[in-house]
């Protein structure tokens, strides 16, 4: 009975909680993430490159993740045609945000400054993306 009271006291006081993934409250975890029409690769230094069927986005790292798994960073975005040009892509400022849900799922939003997201996606860690290239 006494052990049950101690356990109840710990739970009620918030001392006992479910373990959090190691990146929560830290940095966005490196690695490959894939989804429908989106691929994300986060390098060891925390910078990232997002490939979409007809666009690309990039951000510098490391990117902080709050205790709820949310992140927000500045980056850049370029629409693509699938054909290389001499001038290269025209980059515009973008906001890249989302949430890491557990260890295997990442929700991603890419928005041009002061506009709605141009792309939202659910990505899975180490999954192959399903990308169709522009022609």
pLDDT (tens digit per residue) in 23-77: 556 899 899 999 999 999 999 999 999 999 889 999 998 999 999 999 999 999 9
Give percent of the chain with pLDDT exceeding 90. 53
Higher-confidence residue: 62 or 102?
62
In a domain, 4, yes or no: no
pLDDT at 107 over 90: yes
Q: Which domain holds residue 43?
A: 20-125
Q: In the predicted model, is pLDDT for residue 79 greater than 60?
A: yes
* Position 72 in a domain: yes
| Per-residue 3-state assignment (H helix, E strand, C coil) for the chain | CHHHHHHHHHHHHCCCCCCCCCCCCCECCCEEEEEECEEEEECCCCCEEEEECCEEEEECCCCECCCCCEEEEEEEEEECCCCCCCCCCCCEEEEEEEEEECCCEEEEEEEECCCCEEEEEEEEECCCCECCCCC
How many domains does the chain fold into? 1
Query: For the residues 119-125, what does the mean pLDDT come to?
Result: 91
In a domain, 131, yes or no: no
Whether residue 104 is contained in a domain is answered as: yes
Tell me whether residue 13 is in a domain.
Answer: no
């Amino acid at each position: 009975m006494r052990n049950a009271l101690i356990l109840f006291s710990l739970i009620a006081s918030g001392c006992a909680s479910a373990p959090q993934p190691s990146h929560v409250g830290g940095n966005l975890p490196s690695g490959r993430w894939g989804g429908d029409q989106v691929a994300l690769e986060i390098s060891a230094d925390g910078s990232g490159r997002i490939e979409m069927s007809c666009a690309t986005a990039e951000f510098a790292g490391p990117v902080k993740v709050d205790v709820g798994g949310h992140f927000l960073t500045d980056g850049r975005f370029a629409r693509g045609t699938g054909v290389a040009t001499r001038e290269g892509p025209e980059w515009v400022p973008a906001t890249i945000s989302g949430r890491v849900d557990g260890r295997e799922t990442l929700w991603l939003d890419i928005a041009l400054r002061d506009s709605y997201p141009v792309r939202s996606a659910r990505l899975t860690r180490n999954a192959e993306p399903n990308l169709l290239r522009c022609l």
